[in-house]
Structure 1
Amino acid sequence: MQKLEKERDTLRDDVSYLQSQSMRNNLVFTGVVEDHTDGNEHADVTERKLRQHLQDAFKIAREVADSIRFERVHRSPGSPFAGKTRNIIAKFTFFKDREMVRKSWKQLDATQFRVFEQFPRDVIQKRRMLFPQMKEARRLDKRAYLAYDTLYIDGTAVRA
């Protein structure tokens, strides 16, 4: 029984890793207004809004924002309805473009907008469990950061 449980856990980790690899070029953008007039917002409209958002909120030059290539830009799954704005999920063609946008997150301070990496559900759960430990370590002036599903405190790995 223990052997089967261990094998199951290993398979879950493998599936989670594969999911995360398929999401590694994705960023999730929150707070970008959604058009509800025609039901579901068309992907072209969403991409246009994202490019404008990159210029306005991230302070990225228009030429640079227009040169970024996306494989796909869409809203989070679910039915759109008034009063609720679904997140935008953007799959970048080039990892360098994704990192340039992600590292501009400080431009979003004091706004309602946020940007973050996309992870599978189980990785998000692990990160949520590790987050309080990270905050406590930082409060104690230790170097702490999350990488995937692992917390590093002064170079030592801590897993959930």
Structure 2
Amino acid sequence: MRNNLILTGIEEDNTTGNEPPAVTETKLRAFLKEKLKLASDAVDAMRLERVHRSPSHPVTGKVRSVVVKFAFFKDREEVRRQWPELKGSPYNVFEQFPPEIQEKRRRLVPKMKEAKRGGKKAWIAYDTLYIDGRPVSQ
């Protein structure tokens, strides 16, 4: 999961039942160029090991997330760093974490928001909350 990103809001064509991975990859590359404003040649050069919709059955009217496994961490980070381009749009980019890490991060978010409201600099890195540059013990 280290090289995976999850992108939400990318339109899905499930009129034939399930969108083929090749179609999903084509839509993803277009999304990277148009919405994230990455250079066309950089997007074309990215090696993607796997691109697929989140594992569930397609539902009319709902768009499943796209899970992308990048061959190179550098490419993944280039895409991840462009997330501010999506501010105010229906799209989003997330890192993929194992379920136990997701649960730990979910518990840390309220503490992070509280610290930010208090005027402190706070962020979560993997499964650790940092406030004013110091890790906070659980």
Which piece of structure 1 moves more, 135-144 or 92-101?
135-144
Q: Which amino acid aligns with 1:52?
A: A
Matching residue of 1:88: 66
Matching residue of 2:82: 104
Matched, 1:130 2:108: yes
**Alpha-carbon distance in 1 for matches of 2:104, 2:137:** 8
**Alpha-carbon distance in 2 for matches of 1:107, 1:159:** 33
Q: Which amino acid aligns with 2:78?
A: M
Of structures 1 and 2, the one scoring higher in RCO (CA 8 A, sep 6+) is 2
Larger radius of gyration: 1
**Alpha-carbon distance in 1 for matches of 2:48, 2:84:** 22
Structure 2 unpaired stretches of 5+: none
Matching residue of 1:29: 7
Map Cα deviations across residues 114-150 of structure 1 (whole Å, 9 max, x no partner). 0010011111111111001111111222121101111
Structure with the bigger percentage of helix: 1
Shift of 1:112: 0.2
User: Which of 46, 52, 55 does residue 24 from structure 2 map onto?
Assistant: 46
Which piece of structure 1 moves more, 60-69 or 100-109?
60-69
For residue 79 of structure 2, give the secondary structure of its aligned residue in structure 1.
Answer: helix
User: Which of 91, 95, 101 does residue 117 from structure 1 map onto?
Assistant: 95
Aligned length: 138
Counterparts of residues 64-79 of structure 1 (less than 5 Å): 64-79=42-57
Identity %: 54
For residue 146 of structure 1, give the secondary structure of its aligned residue in structure 2.
Answer: strand
Shift of 1:110: 0.9
Q: Which amino acid aligns with 1:69?
A: R
Task: Decide whether the 8 Å contact of 1:149 with 1:159 is kept in 2.
Answer: no
Runs of 4+ in 1 over 6 A off after TM superposition: none
Calculate the aligned-residue CA RMSD, in Å: 1.0
TM-score scaled by structure 2? 0.96
